[in-house]
Amino acid sequence: MSLHAQGAPMGKQDQTSWGWHMGVVVFVVAWFLIYKQLLGFSEWLTGLLPVERASHAGDALAFFLYDTPKVIMLLTLIVFAMGVVRSFFSPEKTRAMLSGKREGAGNLMSASLGILTPFCSCSAVPLFIGFVSAGVPLGVTFSFLIAAPMVNEVALVLLFGLVGWKVAVTYLVFGLGIAIVAGWIIGRLHLEDWLQDWVKDIHMGAVATEIPDEKLTMVDRYQQGIASVKEIVGKVWVWVVVGISLGALIHGYVPENAMVKIMGSGAWWSVPVAVIMGIPMYTNAAGVIPIVEALLDKGAALGTVLAFMMSVIALSLPEMLILRKVLTFKLIAVFAGVVGSGILAVGFLFNMIF
Amino acid sequence: MKDVKVYGPGCKRCDATEAMVRQTAEMLGIELQVEKVSDYAAIAMAGVVSTPGISVDGKLVHAGGLPNAADLETWLQA
């Protein structure tokens, strides 16, 4: 996939960009019109199928036929919007903003920028070194590294679309909270000595260059939005379909309240078990949230389910293995311990409140 | 001859970027020496935070994601 510019001849440039603006407006309007019809459409489609609507199979099918297009449409819109927004941010700019920031305010800023800055776990290591070598405090760097994968638009869209906006906002607030507090604690512990030796050496030498701003037009930004839709939605839709199918089966066939005993708020041990189970699991938000939604519906407690989700996304074993290149084992253990405790706390807190 | 370095630990996009640089150079008929830098320390020293990054004659011109084709032509021709 490439980002070939449309190569408009001079003079026609304005015309092309107006075409793009109009195109985006038409797309958004069409999106809303279609989105409003989805429920009626899915019920109509279920009605055409040779199953009893009131049966288990009918339930499962209706759920699947409504939720799949809904989630994929929501993802497309939001991922496009985030792609455009992200074109205004880059890890290089973020690093410049964060370098020399004090802890506290720095952690808050860093975690928020973690949501907006484009990030993929394959560049976690260069990013880590780049931040630390430019004088971004270790704890502030960690706030970024925790927030960036955990609080992302895919997770938020799926929570909003499948579970509701309240849970989505809660996840956003507490995900950020964990990133800020965990980063702050790691900063307070002064663990700079626990970096791998070669990373400390780079720390001494200043990083030389700054990249001149690549001039982006609004059309370039739209194209980046489209590119991220192709990349993210193209990768994630399989997970969405698999996740929603599993969710649909749980909806149709698992008896009401079946989860109360194992995952209900009465079972206190279910929170730590959920966190531990989440660590080796490597899937993304798209696969996990449809299942989460179905579990909630069958009586699982919100805190337990949130803890499971956060653990799956934020404490992934593969990412820790990547970070092993720059962090000593001790530092990774502290990182996992602090973040894990934060997730536990959120889980228990929610089970108490709701 | 221009000296171009592509910085990246070896992800799919880094390879794609390297291929893009070679193709563009061939298309424009520019002679290049392309070097792939995959050592993390060297990547960080060059100031690249998000990979892949590209430098031309020691000057960093791009970091993060595939470069824009038109921009790439400008950098290689400069």
**Contacting residues of A for B60, CB less than 8 Å apart:** 209-211
Q: What total number of domains does chain B contain?
A: 1
Lowest mean pLDDT across A34-38, A123-127, B12-16: A123-127
How far, in Å, CA of A192 to CA of A328, rounded?
10
**Contacting residues of A for B46, CB less than 8 Å apart:** 208-209
Lowest mean pLDDT across A131-135, B4-8, B51-55: A131-135
Q: Which amino acid is at A312?
A: V
Other beta carbons within 10 Å of A201 = 12
pLDDT of residue A116: 85
pLDDT of residue A121: 67
Query: What pLDDT, in 10s, does the model give residues B48-66?
Result: 877 888 888 888 888 877 8
Q: Where are the domains of chain A?
A: 21-206+236-354
pLDDT for residue A18 is more than 60: yes
Compute CA distances A237 → A74, A127, A183, A223, B10, whole Å.
Answer: 12, 28, 32, 20, 25
pLDDT cut 90: percent of chain A above it: 22
Phi, psi of B60 (to 5 degrees): -75, 125
At A243 the three-state DSSP class reads helix
> What is the domain range of residue B71?
2-77
Rounded average pLDDT over A283-296: 78
pLDDT cut 70: percent of chain A above it: 89
pLDDT of residue A108: 92
With cut-offs at 50, 70 and 90, classify the pLDDT of residue A204: very low
Decide if A333 touches B, using CB distance below 8 A: no
Decide if B32 touches A, using CB distance below 8 A: no
Handedness of CA B62, A234, A343, A329 (dihedral sign): negative
Compute CA distances A235 → A26, A240, A241, whole Å.
Answer: 25, 10, 11
Query: What pLDDT, in 10s, does the model give residues A67-119?
Result: 889 989 999 999 999 989 888 888 878 888 888 788 888 999 999 998 888 77
Q: What is the DSSP letter of B63?
A: E
Proportion of chain A in helix, strand, coil states, percent, rounded to 5: 75, 0, 25
pTM listed for this prediction = 0.80
Question: Which of residues A339 and A253 earns the better pLDDT score?
Answer: A339
**Contacting residues of B for A220, CB less than 8 Å apart:** 68
CA distance to partner chain A, nearest, from residue B47 (Å): 6
pLDDT for residue A206 is more than 90: no
CA distance to partner chain B, nearest, from residue A89 (Å): 11
How far, in Å, CA of A234 to CA of A221, rounded?
19
pLDDT for residue A135 is more than 60: yes
Q: Are A62 and A53 contacting, i.e. CB atoms less than 8 angstroms apart?
A: yes
With cut-offs at 50, 70 and 90, classify the pLDDT of residue A312: confident
Mutate to test the interface with B, among A123, A216, A231 (most CBs of B within 10 A): A123
What strands lie across the sheet with B2-7, from one edge to the other?
A: B32-37, B2-7, B53-56, B59-63
Say if the Cβ atoms of A211 and B63 lie within 8 Å.
yes
**Residues 6+ away with beta carbon under 8 Å from A35:** A70, A73
**Residues 6+ away with beta carbon under 8 Å from A61:** A46, A49, A51, A248, A252
Rounded average pLDDT over A310-336: 85
Name the residue facing A209 among B9, B46, B68 (closest C-beta): B46
pLDDT for residue A184 is more than 60: yes
ipTM: 0.71
Q: Hey, which residues does A246 pair with through a beta bridge?
A: none
Q: A265 burial class (0-12, 13-18, 19+ CB within 10 angstroms)?
A: buried
pLDDT of residue A203: 57
Averaging pLDDT over each range in A30-34, A35-39, A49-53, A127-131, which range is the top one?
A30-34
pLDDT of residue A342: 92
CA distance to partner chain A, nearest, from residue B8 (Å): 8
CATH code for the domain of B51: 3.40.30.10
pLDDT of residue A120: 67
Question: Which of residues A60 and A184 earns the better pLDDT score?
Answer: A184
How far, in Å, CA of B45 to CA of B41, rounded?
6
Say if the Cβ atoms of A208 and B9 lie within 8 Å.
no
pLDDT for residue A7 is more than 70: no
For tokens 């390879």, the residue is: B15
Phi, psi of A136 (to 5 degrees): -75, 125
For tokens 């008896």, the residue is: A255
CA distance to partner chain A, nearest, from residue B38 (Å): 10
Decide if B15 touches A, using CB distance below 8 A: no
Lowest mean pLDDT across A48-52, A140-144, A182-186: A48-52
Handedness of CA A152, A158, A161, A164 (dihedral sign): negative
Q: Which two tokens stand for residue A199?
A: 């990373």
pLDDT of residue A326: 85
At B36 the three-state DSSP class reads strand
pLDDT for residue A220 is more than 50: yes
Query: What pLDDT, in 10s, does the model give residues A140-167?
Result: 999 998 898 888 888 888 888 888 898 8
Rounded average pLDDT over A44-71: 84
Decide if A161 touches B, using CB distance below 8 A: no
